[in-house]
Amino acid sequence: MKVLIATQKPFAAAAVAGIKEILEKGGYEVQLLEKYAEQADLVKAVADVNALIIRSDKVTAEVLDAAKELKIVVRAGAGYDNVDLAAATAHGVVVMNTPGQNSNAVAELAIAMMIFMARTQFTPATGSEVQGKTLGIQAFGNVGRLVGAKAKALGMKVKALDPFLSDEQIAAGGAEPVHSLDELYAGSDYLSLHIPALPSTIGSINYDLITKMPKGATLVNTARKEVIDEAGLEKALEERPDIKYVTDVAPDNLAVLQEKFGLRVFATPKKMGAQTAEANINAGLAAARQIVDYFATGNTRFQVNK
């Protein structure tokens, strides 16, 4: 049985070693495809593998067509919008994620980004403090809850909106429940996005919402670039010179935004929320264990295309 680790953005070496150890102990042969130049390299590499471990790598219908022996794909991470779930299901391929395993890394980055913007991108210009300010969290899942806890430790007030959670669950996670997007945006000095990219969320963070934010507010995006209506964001930044945007997922119009808005906009050069040794080890090893367990016992607990 062959397992391919296909990561355009490689795991830390310690994570690769740990994944290999688990799989080889289970009798699997491990292949590694890192930093590949083209999607065609992935299509070629999957030809005879039985299992696939990926990060944000794109598992398209073309990849699934080429992977004649493939039984399981594990996305070492949370979001699985990079996998064509319908095509996987049509090919009888199980798709899993590893929820929670890289959440702390993303949460730490969200907090770091917030402070980076509050302190004017570490330039000598006078900044502001986050203590006493209100952080609104849109989607209170694994990452959102960790962001909230860290923000509270910084002395921030934390509010959260999550249509899948009751008020009691949000309160138990340490945040004040909010019931509408308008209320969340209007009441947040910092707004941290933790929603997945779904048909219902793509382009949903638009001009109307962004301009609801109070004076001096900052929108923090460690989620997905697709959830932002980029034209709406640009218009909002234009009309509201007090608003800032910081993101781990560069928008298509980044060059324009940076030219027009300077220090009010920042994007990491490459998505780095989950890029810590700890997150790589947690998510990578979990992925390896889930594969071993799936073939040994049929465990589909983390399957996302049921």
Pairing state between β 72-75 and 29-34: unpaired
Taken in order 272, 273, 277, 282, is the CA torsion positive or negative? negative
Q: How many residues bind ligand 3PG (CB under 6 A)?
A: 11
State how far the Cα of 153 lies from the Cα of 263, in Å rounded to an integer.
Answer: 27
Looking at beta carbons only, is 118 or 249 nearer to ligand 3PG?
249
Looking at beta carbons only, is 128 or 276 nearer to ligand 3PG?
276
- Binding test (CB under 6 A) with ligand 3PG, winner from 3, 46, 70, 79: 79
- Binding test (CB under 6 A) with ligand 3PG, winner from 3, 6, 49, 56: 56
5 binds ligand 3PG (CB under 6 A): no
State how far the Cα of 255 lies from the Cα of 233, in Å rounded to an integer.
Answer: 14
- What is the closest distance, in whole angstroms, from the C-beta atom of residue 16 to ligand 3PG in the complex? 14
Of the candidate spans 73-81, 130-138, 171-179, 226-234, the one that interacts with ligand 3PG by CB under 6 A turns out to be: 73-81
Pairing state between β 51-54 and 2-7: parallel
Q: How far is CA 224 from CA 67, 113, 247, 274, in A?
A: 27, 15, 9, 13
Q: Give strand pairing partners of 247.
A: 221, 267
Looking at beta carbons only, is 107 or 213 nearer to ligand 3PG?
107
Of residues 237-276, those binding ligand 3PG (CB under 6 A): 271, 273-275
Looking at beta carbons only, is 266 or 295 nearer to ligand 3PG?
266
Cβ 157 vs Cβ 134: under 8 Å: yes
- What is the closest distance, in whole angstroms, from the C-beta atom of residue 279 to ligand 3PG in the complex? 8
The residues, ordered by sequence, that sit 6+ positions from 304 with a Cβ below 8 Å of its Cβ are: 80, 85, 95, 96, 97
Q: Which of 22, 15, 78 is nearest to 51 (CA)?
A: 22
Looking at beta carbons only, is 134 or 275 nearer to ligand 3PG?
275
Site map for ligand 3PG, 95-134, x if CB under 6 A? -------x--------------------------------
State how far the Cα of 261 lies from the Cα of 234, in Å rounded to an integer.
Answer: 9
State how far the Cα of 160 lies from the Cα of 139, in Å rounded to an integer.
Answer: 7
Of the candidate spans 77-85, 121-129, 157-165, 286-294, the one that interacts with ligand 3PG by CB under 6 A turns out to be: 77-85
- What is the closest distance, in whole angstroms, from the C-beta atom of residue 296 to ligand 3PG in the complex? 25
Note the Cα 52 to chain centre separation in Å: 20
Q: Residue 51 belongs to what H/E stretch?
A: strand 51-54
- Binding test (CB under 6 A) with ligand 3PG, winner from 78, 118, 139, 227: 78
Looking at beta carbons only, is 250 or 274 nearer to ligand 3PG?
274
